[in-house]
Chain A
């Protein structure tokens, strides 16, 4: 794909028969799905269902035992694919480097690969931080930021890559409702602005139904259903219904 770096467009993601074992325990039991370019695809499921392991496969951090993942038809494990397509992962914890300032974290990709001169990097970092509502935090250390700010800084770090595919791991976990809404709006805003393909792993129902073009529900390493938010809501499966309608009901 020869997208201009200034106007990146999303890539397609195809997962075919993905399987993974850890110490004899099968965590992914044959996952198949396709994400269209520019789509927001949300993978939902209870804790321990294999969502985060799936995400690590999608960015190439884990090799599959069987099956394959194709980015625009090319296998993710190939070194050529990694250098050809720009992909970013926003970690659940943010995973900012604690020894660097927020500004250095956001500009790390550009400075390490020596893609721009320092003044240009400083300008881009300031712009990206302003884009995610963190103007003026360049010189702060990550431990001076709140959980929501860390996640937004991690999004800014991902944006610097000008990604064609962004993966979000539980982007709203540990956040208050207001911060969760801001993160959701940010994901939507990015899709509209740069047409990036977004793959979100979450068990936040409000976020999933608020931003997704399509939702996949995963349980015990298998995809239960894939569809638009309305289709998933209507899907007649006890596990899916239980997961989507689980609520705390105190005894009267």
Chain B
């Protein structure tokens, strides 16, 4: 993975330089954005609801035992906003969308479609990478906001209905509002924006580096997902360290 870091950074830089062309590529950006949202929204809802639910289930009884039942809302709220929603959704999107990006661009490389673009003086970075990177950079933070809200709902439902916790809805939300500040949500959304860049650029790079036939496409897809997840986890630590100050 690390031997390609230079190429990945270079691709990211070239894509940033091509940002002024984003308006020209707006239809492709919209198509990619729709594809990401359409493919992921239901999964995001299900995943985040149950993540919120399981945090409430794990922490609730322990807090109740120690007379801290009212803190459930804050714990679910802050863990989802700052950490779990951005990281889990990024991993989900790396698997669902990153793999699709690497496979699509990879098959275009294998079947000479990328070469065909080059012969027409169409830059593959402008045509293929830019729309995907812009779309995922907008879509993932929005999905994370959605995930945070649905996750909080999942936590609240479990906190109220589980007999070992039995924290009323209003008490859950009151504590959540006390503990979670707007900057916590903003930090989480900022993290997800960085993760979106990682997924987009790593997956497109793997797609463009595809050689060989169908086996080469399979290798690229696997590397795109694994490398994205590894980088997400590493950058999660770095960003948390920076943002926690």
- Is the CB–CB distance between B111 and A61 below 8 Å? no
Residue interface mask B89-117, A partner, CB < 8 A = 1: 00000000000000010001001110111
Interface size on B, residues (CB 8 A): 15
B121 contacts across to A, CB distance below 8 A? 82-83, 109, 113
- A95 is contacted by which of B104, B111, B127 (Cβ under 8 Å)? B111
- The residue on B at minimum CB distance from A87 is B119
With contacts defined as CB atoms under 8 Å apart, how many contacts are there between chain A and chain B in the complex? 45
Question: A95–B120 Cα gap in the complex (Å)?
Answer: 12
Tell me, yes or no, whether A40 is within 8 Å of chain B by CB. Answer: no
Q: Are A88 and B119 in contact (CB under 8 A)?
A: yes
B interface footprint on A212-228 (CB within 8 Å = 1, 0 otherwise): 00000000000000000
* B113 close to A109 (CB less than 8 A): no
**B113 & A108 in contact (Cβ 8 Å cutoff):** no
Measured CB to CB, the nearest residue on chain A to B119 is: A89
Residue contact B120 to A91, C-beta cutoff 8 Å: no
Q: In the complex, are the beta carbons of A109 and B122 less than 8 A apart?
A: yes
Contact B116 A97 (CB under 8 A): yes
Task: Decide yes or no whether A49 CB sits under 8 A from chain B.
Answer: no
Instruction: Report the bound CA distance from A95 to B109 in whole Å.
Output: 10
Which residues on A sit within 8 Å (CB–CB) of B122?
108-109, 112-113
Contact indicator A91/B116 (Cβ below 8 Å): yes
Query: What does DSSP make chain B's interface, helix, strand, loop or mixed?
Result: helix
Q: How far is the CA of A88 from the CA of B116 in the complex (A)?
A: 9
- Chain A residue with minimal CB distance to B25? A112
Interchain CB contact under 8 A, B113 and A61: no
List A contacts of B111 (CB < 8 A): 93, 95, 98
Contact status A95-B24, CB under 8 Å: no
How far is the CB of B94 from the nearest CB of chain A, in Å? 22
Tell me, in angstroms, the Cα distance from A108 to B121 when the chains sit together: 11
* Chain B contacts for A56, CB-based, 8 A: 115
Interface centre among B24, B104, B122 (most CB of A within 10 A): B122
Q: Count chain B CB atoms within 10 A of each CB in A61, A88, A112, A157 and give the residue with the most.
A: A112
| Alpha-carbon separation in the docked complex, A200 to B127 (Å) | 29
Determine if B118 is an interface residue (Cβ-Cβ < 8 Å).
yes
Chain A residue at minimum C-beta to C-beta distance from B115 = A61
For the complex, give the distance between the alpha carbons of A114 and B113 in Å: 20
| Closest 6 pairs (CB-CB, A-B) | A95-B116, A95-B112, A89-B119, A109-B120, A112-B122, A97-B113
Interface CB pairs A-B, < 8 A, 13: A61-B115, A83-B121, A89-B119, A95-B111, A95-B113, A95-B115, A96-B113, A97-B113, A108-B122, A109-B120, A112-B122, A114-B24, A161-B120
